[in-house]
Amino acid sequence: MRPEDILVRTPVGVCCKAGGFHIDPTRPVDKAVITHGHSDHARAGHGAVLATQETLDLMRLRYGGNFAASTQAIRYGETVTLGGARVTFHPAGHVLGSAQIAVEVDGLRVVASGDYKNVVDPTCVPFELVRCDVFITEATFGLPVFRHGNADAEIAKLLHSVALFPERAHLVGAYSLGKAQRLIALIRAAGYDEPIYLHGAMEKITRYYVSRGIDLGRFDLARSAKKPELAGAITLCPPSTLKDLWSRRFPDPVTCFASGWMRVRARARQHLVELPLVISDHADWDGLTETIAATGASEVWVTHGQEEALVHWSVTRGLQARPLDIVGYGDEDEADDVTENANHGEVS
Ligand SMILES: [Zn+2]
Ligand SMILES: [Zn+2]
């Protein structure tokens, strides 16, 4: 038995022949096993979908009730047998419901981690280390320059700015699924209890998080607030709306952006970000390399992001490593991110 007999790379994502399924397929397939709800990993139009309840719910919120012909929910730690393969889901710590998928055939275990981070996040179950023979890792921040540091320190910077400029609105660009809710939870944990305003595109997902027991305090839609109420307040919005007409109604806004890319000053400048906040839902360089080492895997397959440096690092550690080169996964932490529903429910 070789790893390639368990999972094989195809143009639409990795495929388990023995189990007859694809993981995070980028085009419609008969049977899909899905790691998490971000739209490049969780697409509509598959026959059967196996995912956590949260991922299925988030897909339903985004695509409507008919996003797949049939669905099956699986819990963390639960194993299902698909054809000749045993499939187990483990927490990935990336966003609510996100999972790593362990696939086992004849005692050989391959783990497809989807997107992950190994730091504490009050809005999702912590990353679980799974020992395996082959580890499939993302590489969004797969360069040594990316060290995210402490998210609480970034939140402190934001709150300091709010205290310093009570007459200015603080507009924080953040991805709608995961990042926005994590920011709210971190802001609350820092003791800030004023209402937080949201762009309409974030409303459904944020309410869903609350319905799953995540306490986010009081939030309101920015469009129902009066202009003076937005001064001295924090508003979260999709990054793509920071520069468009939507942001013009805010009083003298301080433009902030929460992303792992904010470590790169040129990126922040390019997007006219006054207050960059280095907060990411992806593992940084240390997180990626520590995790690869700790899985005990002798083989590493690297997908979407900066594959080369991570492949090189693995090889120098005596591991077998290669890039998967699958096209179709985006980067929700990307500064140019445009969510498909960025203007949902908003006038401009
Ligand atoms: Zn993701
Ligand atoms: Zn991804």
Q: What is this structure's pTM?
A: 0.94
Q: What is residue 299's three-state secondary structure? A: strand
The pLDDT, as a whole number, for residue 337 is 42
Distance of alpha carbon 320 from alpha carbon 303, whole angstroms: 14
- Tokens 């998210």, residue located: 151
From ligand 2's centre to the CA of 266, what distance in Å?
A: 23
Q: What angle do CA 229, 260, 76 make, to 5 degrees?
A: 95
- Residue 31: the pLDDT is 98
> How much is the pLDDT for 340?
38
Q: Report how far ligand 1's centroid is from the alpha carbon of 115 (Å).
A: 5
Ligand showing the shortest atom-to-Cα distance for residue 140: 2
Give distance in angstroms: CA of 191 to centre of ligand 2: 31
- Do 115 and 282 form a contact (C-beta atoms < 8 A)? yes
Model pLDDT, residue 56: 98
Calculate how far, in angstroms, residue 213's C-alpha sits from the geometric centre of ligand 2: 25
The full length of the chain comes to 348
C-alpha of residue 335 to centroid of ligand 2, in Å: 14
**How many Å lie between the centroid of ligand 2 and the Cα of residue 43?**
12
pLDDT at 326: 86
The single-letter DSSP state of residue 125 is P
Q: What is the pLDDT of residue 271?
A: 84
What is the CA(185)–ligand 2 centre distance, in A? 22
pLDDT at 333: 61
Position 263 scores a pLDDT of 93
Which segments of the chain have a pLDDT < 70?
331-348
User: Do residues 87 and 80 touch, judged by C-beta distance below 8 A?
Assistant: yes
Amino acid at 233: A
Q: What spacing in Å lies between the alpha carbon of 17 and ligand 1's midpoint? A: 25
Beta strands at 46-51 and 68-73: parallel, antiparallel or unpaired:
parallel
